[in-house]
Amino acid sequence: MPHFAISIGLEREGEIIAGVIYQPISDELFWAEKGNGAFVDTPNARSRRLRVFGRKDPARGLVATGIPHIGKGGHAAYFAKLAAVTERTAGIRRWAPPRSTSLSWPPAATTHSSSSGSAPWDVAAGLLLVREAGGVIGDIAGKPYELGGPSLLASNFGLRDSMVEILSKA
C-alpha cells in the first residue's frame, strides 16, 4: 500500500518550532514554521497556505482517526468513542495504517482529527501544521495536549467544544 510519509518536527526548549511532512508518492510537502503559517507544496503548484475550515456543526465535519492495533489495548473504550462520533459527524476517515500517523495530519489541517496514544515523533510536525493553519490542539478531555499524551484532539475552534462533549460522554 503506497501510503507512507517522512515526518520531521523540530523542538526547541520544549516548543515545536518547525514541522515538515513529505509524501513521496504524490510529491506533496506539508510544512509549517511557528508564527509563519502552514503550507503545502505540490508538483504543479506554488506553495499554498493551509487553513482550517470554519465549520461549527459536527454534522458537517469529518474525523480522521487512528485505530488501536493488536497489543495496543483499549479497544472497547475506543469503539465506544467511535460509535458516539459516528452518530454526530459527517464521517470517519482512517487516513493512516499503524506507524504512519503523520499522514493523518495534512487533512487535519483542513478538517479536524482525533487520535490516541501516538508517539511524539509521529505527531510533532502535525501539531504545528494544525496550529499554524488556525487550529487548536488538546486532548479529548479538552485539556492542553503534551507530547506523548494518551489522547489527542486537533480541531478548529468552532468544533473543539462539541468534539470534547461527544468524546467525554462516550
CA atoms within 13 A on the CB side of 11: 12
Asked, for residue 95, whether it belongs to a domain, the answer is yes
Cell of 87: 452518530
Tell me which residue range forms the domain holding 92. Answer: 51-169
Asked, for residue 5, whether it belongs to a domain, the answer is no
Asked, for residue 38, whether it belongs to a domain, the answer is no
Q: Is 147 exposed, middle or buried (0-12, 13-18, 19+ CB in 10 A)?
A: middle
Asked, for residue 79, whether it belongs to a domain, the answer is yes
What rounded mean pLDDT belongs to the chain?
Answer: 83
Asked, for residue 57, whether it belongs to a domain, the answer is yes
Give the CATH number of the domain where residue 132 resides.
3.40.190.80
Asked, for residue 139, whether it belongs to a domain, the answer is yes
Tell me the percentage of the chain whose pLDDT exceeds 70.
86
Q: What is the pLDDT of residue 112?
A: 37
Provide the CA 87 distance to its chain's centre, in angstroms: 20
pLDDT tens digit string along 125-134?
A: 999 999 999 9
pLDDT tens digit string along 78-102?
A: 899 899 999 999 888 876 544 445 5
Task: Name the nearest CA neighbour of 64 among 114, 26, 129.
Answer: 114
40 has a pLDDT exceeding 60: yes
Q: Is pLDDT larger for residue 76 or for residue 74?
A: 76
CB atoms within 10 A of CB 103: 20
Whether the CB-CB separation of 104 and 115 falls below 8 Å is answered with yes
Asked, for residue 128, whether it belongs to a domain, the answer is yes
How many separate domains does the chain show? 1
The mean pLDDT of 105-124, rounded to a whole number, is 59
Asked, for residue 40, whether it belongs to a domain, the answer is no
The mean pLDDT of 64-83, rounded to a whole number, is 84
